[in-house]
Structures are given as C-alpha cells and as structure tokens.
Amino acid sequence: MAKIENIDVGTFPLFLAPMEDISDSPFRAICKDYGADVLISEFISAEGLIRDALKSKLKMGYEPKERPIGIQIFGSNVASMMRAAEVAEAAMPDFIDLNFGCPVRKIVMKGGGAALLQDIPKMICMAESVVKTIRLPVTVKTRLGWDDAHKDIVDIAERLQDAGISAIGIHGRTRAQLYGGAADWTLIGEVKNNPRMTIPVWGNGDIDSGSKALEMKNRFGVDGIMIGRAATGNPWIFGEVKRAIAQLEPPPAPPMSERLAVVRRHIANSIIYKGERTTLYELRRFYAPYFRGVPDFKKYRMRLVTANDFEIVEAVLAEIERENC
C-alpha cells in the first residue's frame, strides 16, 4: 500500500498531474469519479498567495470528494515559498507539492519551476525550509535535469529525500526538451531502484494508454503514475489504466451519451467555479479530446471553439446528440 507519510493513496496510485487551466476543481472531480486516486491543484504562484491575489486563492479551492489532494506552489524566493506554504496549508489539503519542473518560459525566466534545476543547492534549501515550516507532508514534482548534459535527478532525488520531502514525482524529460521528444523513464527507474531511496517515486511522461502504464510499472518499478496531457478531455484513461494494471481487457470507448453528459457537467461546474467568460475560453481545449474518434467531428469543433456564448455551445452539443446517439 503506497503512502505519502500517513496518507493512504492506494496500492498503485494514479495521479492527475497538475496542469495550468486544466486540472482545476471541476475537472479534477470528474477524473476522481473515473478512477484518479490522487489529485493536485494547478500550480499556484507563491507571490500571488502572499499578496492574497484572487486568482491564486481560487486555485486552492477543492471539494471534499477530491481527497487526497495536494496544493502545488511555485516560486523563486525561499522566504516567499515558506510563507506561501503556510497559506496553502491553511486551506487544509492533504499535502503540499513543490513545483521544481515547470518548463514554461515565463515561469523559468522568473526563477521558478524548472529554473531550480540550475541551482540545486537553492532547490534543496527551499524544500528543506518548507518542510520545516509546515506540518503537512511536502512532495516535489520535477524533471530529469536542465538538459542532456545535466541529468542529475538521481542525486537530486537523494538530496530532496534528505531534506525531508515525503514523495517525488518525476517527469521523464529535461527542461530543454519542454514537451518534445519521448519521455525517458530510465532515470526514473534508477531513482526508484536506488537503495538509498525510501520515499515513494511516481513516474510521469507519455502515459497515454493502459498498456503503456503497465509497461512502465513493470519495467521500472515505480510506486505510482502521474497522467497529464493524456487525461485532458479523457478522464476515462484512469479506468483504462486500472484495468490494465489488473490485467483485464481494455474497456470499450465511452458512448456518445456519456461523453455529452461529462462535457455538460464540466461546463456547468466550471461556470459555477470560474464564471461563464473564463469557462467559455478554457473549455475550448477540451472539446476535441472529449470527442476524439467521433466521425466528422471537425465540422462541430470550429463552431464550439469560436462560440461566444453557451447557447451556441449547447446548440452544437444538441446537434451532436441528435446525429450520433
């Protein structure tokens, strides 16, 4: 049974990886219903939390059914990360996750996310300082290293463990790769199989099917798997992976009626959570994956992503329903 300190997260937990404007509370709740074991918030700016910024506070919101849940924070200043961790702890999640892996330029240029891979002593100091500041377990999400010449994750993971973190999630790419090329799980496996490591090691990167998840589990022995981009508009992937791990046949593709019900639920809850305007914009990236494999979906997609109100969106959804159910 895998644990984050005293938090039971299941025999082989599946995580919904933190993703900006994707892994918010409405979508996390859907993924939970379809088999995700552990959820993590979108990444949240430490400086935003300290300033009491509305957007940052909103990202900390979650429903009780989402537990176990972690709040992920990022930043470049150790003192700010300590204070932000206290603010996040007050929201009473199950753990706090430190983002040491986001490759996005605007984050890295400010010294946050994967930028810490260029200053390992500062990363370790930050992790240790946060661990000592709060009572909740502290976990880390990071990458293999800055670039191919600096794949230092085996050493980094040991040092983070020594700093007191309770689990580590590793994306199998360097910062220089961004999201290009294939994820390399070899070093994730080396971290997991390092005899000095005693904390759980979660693997992340290119898990887009149950068979791929099972392969990574068997080859590298990780304690659990994080699923990111492949879950966008596809919460059913968690059930597929669970069936593969249990060595069962893949589930059938979700019927159109179920897809439509999930899309409508996602829209309705997102409007409550974020309002119509933000929802209209953010849901655009979900439509194509929600309806992946639907014949002639292209004729609907353009109308959905250019709709300027939800009356138009619902009219298109109703048309899809009439023609495909």
Q: Are 222 and 210 in contact (CB under 8 A)?
A: no
pLDDT at 1 over 90: no
Pairwise CA distance, residues 298 & 116, whole Å? 41
Long-range interactions of 258-266: CB distance < 8 A, separation 24+: 259/290, 259/291, 260/317, 260/320, 260/321, 260/325, 262/30, 262/235, 262/290, 263/287, 263/290, 263/317, 264/317, 265/30, 266/26, 266/27, 266/30
Identify the pLDDT of residue 2. 79
More confident residue, 293 or 186: 186
- Residue 74 Cα to chain centre, angstroms: 14
pLDDT at 118 over 70: yes
> Can you give the residue range of the structural domain that contains 52?
2-245
Please give the average per-residue pLDDT across 302-318, as a whole number: 94
**Do 181 and 301 share a structural domain?**
no
Report residue 274 as tokens. 């974020």
**Do 284 and 140 share a structural domain?**
no
Which helix (H) or strand (E) segment holds residue 197: the answer is: none
Please give the average per-residue pLDDT across 102-127, as a whole number: 96
Question: The tokens 């995700």 sit on which residue?
Answer: 36
Provide the CATH number for the domain around residue 309. Answer: 1.10.1200.80
**Do 276 and 224 share a structural domain?**
no
In the annotation, is 31 catalytic? Answer: no
**Do 201 and 79 share a structural domain?**
yes
**Do 315 and 216 share a structural domain?**
no
Q: Which is the catalytic residue, given 31, 102, 125, 325?
A: 102
239 domain residue, yes or no: yes
Identify the pLDDT of residue 30. 98
- Residue ranges of the alpha helices (H) in 42-96? 46-50, 54-59, 78-90
Rg (CA), the chain: 20
Please give the average per-residue pLDDT across 227-243, as a whole number: 97
Characterize the bridge pairing of strands 69-74 and 201-204. unpaired
230 domain residue, yes or no: yes
* Average pLDDT along the chain: 96
Identify the pLDDT of residue 293. 84
251 domain residue, yes or no: no
Percent of the chain residues past pLDDT 90, beyond the cut: 93
pLDDT at 325 over 80: no
**Do 170 and 41 share a structural domain?**
yes
197 domain residue, yes or no: yes
159 pLDDT band, cuts 50/70/90, is very high
Please give the average per-residue pLDDT across 18-26, as a whole number: 95
**Do 195 and 267 share a structural domain?**
no
**Do 235 and 274 share a structural domain?**
no
Please give the average per-residue pLDDT across 299-325, as a whole number: 92
State the amino acid at position 286 in one-letter form. Answer: F
- Of 198, 224, 245, the position where a domain reaches its end is 245
Counted domains in the chain: 2
37 domain residue, yes or no: yes
Q: Are 36 and 12 in contact (CB under 8 A)?
A: no
**Do 208 and 104 share a structural domain?**
yes
Model confidence pLDDT, tens digit, residues 49-74: 999 888 898 999 999 999 999 999 99
- Of 212, 245, 278, the position where a domain reaches its end is 245
**Do 207 and 94 share a structural domain?**
yes
Please give the average per-residue pLDDT across 239-264, as a whole number: 95
pLDDT at 100 over 80: yes
Identify the pLDDT of residue 135. 98
31 domain residue, yes or no: yes
- Of 245, 266, 293, the position where a domain reaches its end is 245
Report residue 128 as tokens. 């240790």
**Do 168 and 149 share a structural domain?**
yes
Pairwise CA distance, residues 284 & 60, whole Å? 23
| pTM (predicted TM-score) | 0.95
**Do 320 and 292 share a structural domain?**
yes
Pairwise CA distance, residues 246 & 267, whole Å? 32
Identify the pLDDT of residue 296. 84
Report residue 111 as tokens. 């010294």
323 pLDDT band, cuts 50/70/90, is confident
